Protein backbone atom coordinates (compact mmCIF):
# COMPACT_ATOMS: atom_id res chain seq x y z
CA UNK A 1 0.00 0.00 0.00
CA UNK A 2 1.52 3.35 -0.99
CA UNK A 3 2.18 5.99 1.64
CA UNK A 4 0.01 9.07 1.12
CA UNK A 5 0.50 12.68 2.16
CA UNK A 6 -2.23 12.10 4.75
CA UNK A 7 -0.16 9.23 6.19
CA UNK A 8 2.99 11.37 6.26
CA UNK A 9 1.36 14.36 7.91
CA UNK A 10 -1.79 14.03 9.98
CA UNK A 11 -0.66 11.23 12.32
CA UNK A 12 2.72 12.94 12.79
CA UNK A 13 1.06 16.28 13.53
CA UNK A 14 -1.37 14.65 15.98
CA UNK A 15 1.51 12.98 17.74
CA UNK A 16 3.58 16.18 17.99
CA UNK A 17 0.69 18.26 19.32
CA UNK A 18 -0.21 15.45 21.73
CA UNK A 19 3.38 15.48 22.99
CA UNK A 20 3.08 19.22 23.61
CA UNK A 21 -0.12 18.64 25.62
CA UNK A 22 1.71 15.99 27.67
CA UNK A 23 4.67 18.32 28.20
CA UNK A 24 2.33 21.10 29.34
CA UNK A 25 0.76 18.73 31.87
CA UNK A 26 4.20 17.88 33.19
CA UNK A 27 5.26 21.56 33.24
CA UNK A 28 2.17 22.67 35.10
CA UNK A 29 2.64 19.98 37.75
CA UNK A 30 6.35 20.83 38.07
CA UNK A 31 5.78 24.56 38.42
CA UNK A 32 3.02 24.05 41.01
CA UNK A 33 5.14 21.56 43.00
CA UNK A 34 7.96 24.11 43.12
CA UNK A 35 5.60 26.94 44.12
CA UNK A 36 6.26 28.73 40.85
CA UNK A 37 3.69 30.70 38.93
CA UNK A 38 2.52 28.71 35.90
CA UNK A 39 2.08 31.96 33.99
CA UNK A 40 5.90 32.23 33.96
CA UNK A 41 5.86 29.59 31.20
CA UNK A 42 4.74 32.25 28.72
CA UNK A 43 8.06 34.11 28.70
CA UNK A 44 10.48 31.19 28.54
CA UNK A 45 13.06 31.43 25.75
CA UNK A 46 16.29 29.68 24.92
CA UNK A 47 17.90 32.87 23.63
CA UNK A 48 16.89 36.53 23.53
CA UNK A 49 16.31 36.47 19.77
CA UNK A 50 14.03 33.40 19.87
CA UNK A 51 10.27 33.47 20.20
CA UNK A 52 8.92 32.70 23.67
CA UNK A 53 7.30 29.47 24.82
CA UNK A 54 3.67 30.19 23.88
CA UNK A 55 4.73 31.43 20.42
CA UNK A 56 6.67 28.17 19.93
CA UNK A 57 3.48 26.25 20.67
CA UNK A 58 1.40 28.50 18.40
CA UNK A 59 3.99 27.91 15.66
CA UNK A 60 3.75 24.13 16.07
CA UNK A 61 -0.05 24.41 15.80
CA UNK A 62 0.13 26.73 12.79
CA UNK A 63 2.59 24.55 10.96
CA UNK A 64 0.56 21.39 11.59
CA UNK A 65 -2.94 22.68 10.93
CA UNK A 66 -1.73 25.06 8.22
CA UNK A 67 0.04 22.28 6.34
CA UNK A 68 -3.05 20.07 6.51
CA UNK A 69 -5.14 22.94 5.12
CA UNK A 70 -2.68 23.84 2.36
CA UNK A 71 -2.43 20.23 1.22
CA UNK A 72 -6.21 20.24 0.83
CA UNK A 73 -6.11 23.54 -1.07
CA UNK A 74 -7.69 25.49 1.79
CA UNK A 75 -6.65 28.72 3.53
CA UNK A 76 -5.42 28.73 7.11
CA UNK A 77 -5.73 31.52 9.67
CA UNK A 78 -2.74 31.67 11.99
CA UNK A 79 -3.13 31.24 15.73
CA UNK A 80 -2.31 34.53 17.46
CA UNK A 81 -2.51 36.15 20.86
CA UNK A 82 -2.06 33.13 23.11
CA UNK A 83 -1.38 34.85 26.43
CA UNK A 84 -2.45 32.27 29.03
CA UNK A 85 -2.00 28.57 29.58
CA UNK A 86 -5.77 28.15 29.23
CA UNK A 87 -5.67 29.81 25.79
CA UNK A 88 -2.76 27.61 24.73
CA UNK A 89 -4.57 24.47 25.87
CA UNK A 90 -7.76 25.55 24.05
CA UNK A 91 -5.80 26.21 20.84
CA UNK A 92 -4.17 22.78 21.08
CA UNK A 93 -7.54 21.13 21.68
CA UNK A 94 -9.02 22.89 18.63
CA UNK A 95 -6.05 21.90 16.48
CA UNK A 96 -6.21 18.28 17.57
CA UNK A 97 -9.97 18.17 16.97
CA UNK A 98 -9.45 19.62 13.49
CA UNK A 99 -6.77 17.05 12.69
CA UNK A 100 -8.86 14.22 14.18
CA UNK A 101 -11.71 15.10 11.80
CA UNK A 102 -9.55 14.62 8.70
CA UNK A 103 -9.64 11.49 6.60
CA UNK A 104 -7.36 10.20 3.84
CA UNK A 105 -10.07 11.12 1.35
CA UNK A 106 -9.70 14.77 2.33
CA UNK A 107 -6.21 14.67 0.79
CA UNK A 108 -7.19 13.34 -2.64
CA UNK A 109 -5.16 15.15 -5.27
CA UNK A 110 -2.79 16.64 -2.69
CA UNK A 111 0.23 14.95 -4.29
CA UNK A 112 -0.32 17.02 -7.44
CA UNK A 113 -0.86 20.32 -5.66
CA UNK A 114 1.69 23.12 -5.69
CA UNK A 115 2.00 24.74 -2.29
CA UNK A 116 2.61 28.48 -2.52
CA UNK A 117 3.73 30.37 0.57
CA UNK A 118 3.44 34.11 0.02
CA UNK A 119 6.03 36.41 1.52
CA UNK A 120 6.92 40.08 1.15
CA UNK A 121 10.32 38.90 -0.10
CA UNK A 122 8.70 36.70 -2.76
CA UNK A 123 6.51 33.62 -2.73
CA UNK A 124 8.00 30.18 -2.30
CA UNK A 125 6.59 27.42 -4.51
CA UNK A 126 6.83 23.78 -3.47
CA UNK A 127 5.61 20.53 -4.98
CA UNK A 128 3.41 19.06 -2.22
CA UNK A 129 5.78 16.24 -1.26
CA UNK A 130 8.76 18.61 -1.03
CA UNK A 131 6.68 20.96 1.12
CA UNK A 132 5.79 18.13 3.50
CA UNK A 133 9.27 16.63 3.76
CA UNK A 134 11.37 19.81 3.70
CA UNK A 135 9.22 22.36 5.50
CA UNK A 136 6.00 21.19 7.17
CA UNK A 137 7.30 18.17 9.08
CA UNK A 138 10.64 19.78 10.05
CA UNK A 139 8.87 22.94 11.27
CA UNK A 140 6.45 21.05 13.50
CA UNK A 141 9.34 18.97 14.85
CA UNK A 142 11.49 22.06 15.41
CA UNK A 143 8.88 23.88 17.48
CA UNK A 144 8.03 20.74 19.44
CA UNK A 145 11.74 20.28 20.17
CA UNK A 146 12.04 23.88 21.38
CA UNK A 147 9.09 23.37 23.75
CA UNK A 148 10.80 20.26 25.13
CA UNK A 149 14.18 22.02 25.44
CA UNK A 150 12.70 25.01 27.24
CA UNK A 151 11.07 22.74 29.80
CA UNK A 152 14.25 20.72 30.30
CA UNK A 153 16.12 23.99 30.87
CA UNK A 154 13.55 24.82 33.58
CA UNK A 155 14.44 21.62 35.43
CA UNK A 156 11.59 19.35 34.41
CA UNK A 157 12.31 15.66 34.81
CA UNK A 158 11.39 14.72 31.25
CA UNK A 159 13.24 12.56 28.79
CA UNK A 160 13.19 11.07 25.35
CA UNK A 161 10.08 8.97 26.09
CA UNK A 162 8.17 12.16 26.95
CA UNK A 163 9.29 13.67 23.66
CA UNK A 164 8.58 10.63 21.51
CA UNK A 165 5.14 10.01 22.94
CA UNK A 166 3.35 6.68 22.93
CA UNK A 167 5.23 3.90 21.16
CA UNK A 168 3.84 0.60 19.88
CA UNK A 169 3.86 -2.17 22.50
CA UNK A 170 6.87 -4.45 22.64
CA UNK A 171 6.60 -7.95 21.24
CA UNK A 172 8.74 -10.90 22.23
CA UNK A 173 11.74 -11.38 19.98
CA UNK A 174 11.66 -14.34 17.68
CA UNK A 175 14.33 -16.92 18.39
CA UNK A 176 16.87 -16.63 15.69
Q: What is the CATH number of the domain that holds 74?
A: 1.20.120.450
Secondary structure (3-state) at 139:
helix
Name the residue range of residue 150's domain.
5-104+114-164
Per-residue pLDDT band for 176 (boundaries 50, 70, 90) equals: low
How far is 97 from 123, CA to CA, in rounded Å? 30
Domains identified in the chain, total number: 1
Question: Each residue of 80-107: pLDDT tens digit?
Answer: 889 999 999 999 999 999 999 999 999 9
Look at residue 176 and tell me if it is in a domain. no
Does the pLDDT of residue 75 top 70, yes or no?
yes
Whole-prediction pTM:
0.93
Look at residue 174 and tell me if it is in a domain. no
How far is 35 from 32, CA to CA, in rounded Å? 5
Look at residue 11 and tell me if it is in a domain. yes
Q: Is 40 exposed, middle or buried (0-12, 13-18, 19+ CB in 10 A)?
A: exposed
Amino acid sequence: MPVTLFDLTVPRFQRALGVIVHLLDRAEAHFRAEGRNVSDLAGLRLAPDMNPFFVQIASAIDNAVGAAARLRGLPHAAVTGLATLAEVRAALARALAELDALTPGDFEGAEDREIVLPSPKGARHFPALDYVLNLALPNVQFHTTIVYALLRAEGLDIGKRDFLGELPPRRPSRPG
